[in-house]
Structure 1
Amino acid sequence: MKKFNILATALAFTLSIGSAEAAKVRIGYWSSGVSLGFGSFLEAGKFMEKQGLEVEYVKFPDVNAPTKAMAAGAIDFAIGASAGSALSVASDGLPMSIVLATQVADLDFVVLAESPVTKMEDLKGKKIGMSPAGSATAAITSAILIKNYGMAASDFQAVPGNDSRLAQFLAQKEIDAAALRTVTIALLPELKMRKIGTFREEWKKITGKDAPPVLGVGLMRDAWMKDNPGAPAKVIAGMRSAFEAGKADKDGVAKALMAAGNIPEADAKAYAALWDGIYTVSMEPADIASLKAEFEVFKSVGAVKGTLPDSALNAAPYEASKAIK
């Protein structure tokens, strides 16, 4: 009987490992902007599959859609959910956790080369292009204008759109300025733009720290984490492997972009060259502190409400991933 119990226990353990290795995860990301680069390279390199995961990728046309999909139980992990919407749902107590910082806000405030706007103070009363309301970019832009330049929300008109649409608005002079990702600016050399400020410099004025604000986060569904113990760490390990591989293989990143987004080779290579500066895969104490500070800044300008519970920032999967090769 004792021998039978030992065999049964061993069999159960083996089966549990097998089920963990075969855990299915539905991964969502925005099929535009910064998310496209990491998402396409993550898929092409099969980094999640190499961790023994069964993966379904779900792409969304809207920056806030992955967070909404997770709230509806349609995906389990978002690789680059908007920090603004993620912090908002976290403060609302929805059953999902921020497990990674994945994108930093590497954006510039730009105007056309011939624009009379020469400095950030000149943006008062102007039309400013930015990502849609609810996005981290919109919240950060508002915080910069309000806190650093004494403007009220009524002192500028936010014009929402993705980067390509905003660049078009700027070229057609339908807006006076735009907050654009550096990768977008690099892809549009024919549009003569002049930089009047950067998110990194402006954010430092607010926080007193040199680190740029977090633009995107890895968001994970709590129920999936509970049902698949061990799998969250494998997801993070896959993210970390993809990040390191992207830093070492810019040509591979460019090829993935060309295949996924029908992007010309020159543009894809320009995008890939920015990999190290626009992505991160981390949940160290400094990242948690930065996200908490970001929540308070967003709250001060009305972009989020309530209180951010410590449990919403879950570093356990990231820490566990460090033991995975």
Structure 2
Amino acid sequence: MQALDATQQAQLTDWLTASPQHLREYLAVLRVAGELGAALRGMDLDVDALLDADRRAGAAPAPRNVIALPLALRPGPQAAPASPAVHRRSARLRGWGLGLAAALCGVAVLAGWAWPRTQTYSTAHGEQRSVQLADRSTVHLNAQSALRATMTPWSRRLQLLRGQASFMAAPDRRPLQVRAGALRVEDIGTTFDIALYQRQARIEVAEGRVHVWHADRQGQPMLADLGAGQSARIDAASGRVELGSEDVAAMHAWWRRRIVFRDAPLANVAEDFNRLNRTRLLIDDAAAGAMRLTGNLRGDDIASLRAFLADQPTLRVSASADAIRVGSRAAQPPVAR
């Protein structure tokens, strides 16, 4: 059984939204589909076999809008001519079978189209990729990131499970919502970026507009209304919102494996670098992690990163074969083991 393709889905969506009566009729079909599925549960029926029955060799041609039931004939003695009553009973059974096959066909196609379809996309350490969703939206995933996409005829729901992603939403009647941690981001036809950090979420808008809400707090006021060139940093623990302005080109610098940060906590900078590199940037104390920095570095240039950090007067930096350790000069350095 083939599912509806993207064009057919769009046509059916247009038909559903053209009239409330269309939607009522469709919901009635789904209700019947559920009842029929319950009634047929446990019966050994192969819908694809029913649909292919008219192609069997030697089968009598069936009307174009019905499918003959694939009933195997058992060898046996020549049967006596059937009475008119038997003929009428056979015709009723055959008609019931044809109707059942047609109903199964319609139920399978409609239920398959309406059932939520979920797909998960992820990237490994150091890997970046772009994916096109079923609605033709494009998502760029940073390294060590994961996204779950669920599409229905009435909604587009995405969940950023970890990491960072840029979203270029395709025009569609269905609203697009992205859940990221404890936040819900509603797209108003736009291009935007979401990054999840250990202690913070960052949302930046390159084009259009997004609304940001608490995901699980109905009735709470909107956290942020962001337009092009605007950003919001939202503390994961307190929910405190920090609004700012961003250069649109800098928002997408990570697509080219550059780490661009402006007044960003060092802890966030470390997470960005660690997605791309085997050499880890480790923060020794909270004061160092909270230090705000501004810079523009190549994501794989460990030497430049180390030199940049060494230039910060309040930081102490040490390096080993597989890590760069950073701490505040006021804090006690970790004991070597």
What's the TM-score once normalised by structure 1's chain length?
0.27
Q: Higher RCO, 1 or 2 (CA under 8 Å, sep at least 6)? A: 1
Higher share in strand: 2
What's the TM-score once normalised by structure 2's chain length?
0.26
Higher share in helix: 1
Larger radius of gyration: 2
